[in-house]
């Protein structure tokens, strides 16, 4: 199992449960395109951490 947290989140509960950080993911660019326009929610521009559950492989 995997999950992500945003850079501005503490991740305390994941650490307490034994999850391990695997990689840092850079912020994403804009997801909007002509065939599927999307508004700017702001979350696209935040770095994320990829976490791995104990005993699972990424």
Q: What span, in angstroms and rounded, lies between the C-alpha atoms of 44 and 46? A: 6
Quote the distance between the C-alpha of residue 30 and its chain's center.
16
Segments in 1-58 forming alpha helices (H)? 12-16
Q: Considering the chain, what is the average pLDDT of its residues?
A: 86
List, for residues 1-22, the tens digit of each pLDDT value: 999 999 999 999 999 999 999 9
Residue 3, beta-bridge partner list: 51
44: helix, strand or coil: helix
Compute the half-sphere exposure of residue 10: CA atoms within 13 Å on the CB side of its CA: 3
Q: The pTM is what? A: 0.71
The domain limits of the chain are 1-26+46-58
């Amino acid at each position: 199992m995997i999950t992500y947290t945003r850079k501005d989140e503490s991740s305390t509960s994941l650490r307490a449960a034994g999850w391990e950080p695997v990689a840092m993911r850079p912020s994403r660019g804009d997801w909007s395109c002509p065939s599927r326009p999307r508004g700017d929610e702001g979350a696209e521009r935040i770095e994320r951490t990829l976490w791995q559950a104990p005993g699972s492989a990424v």
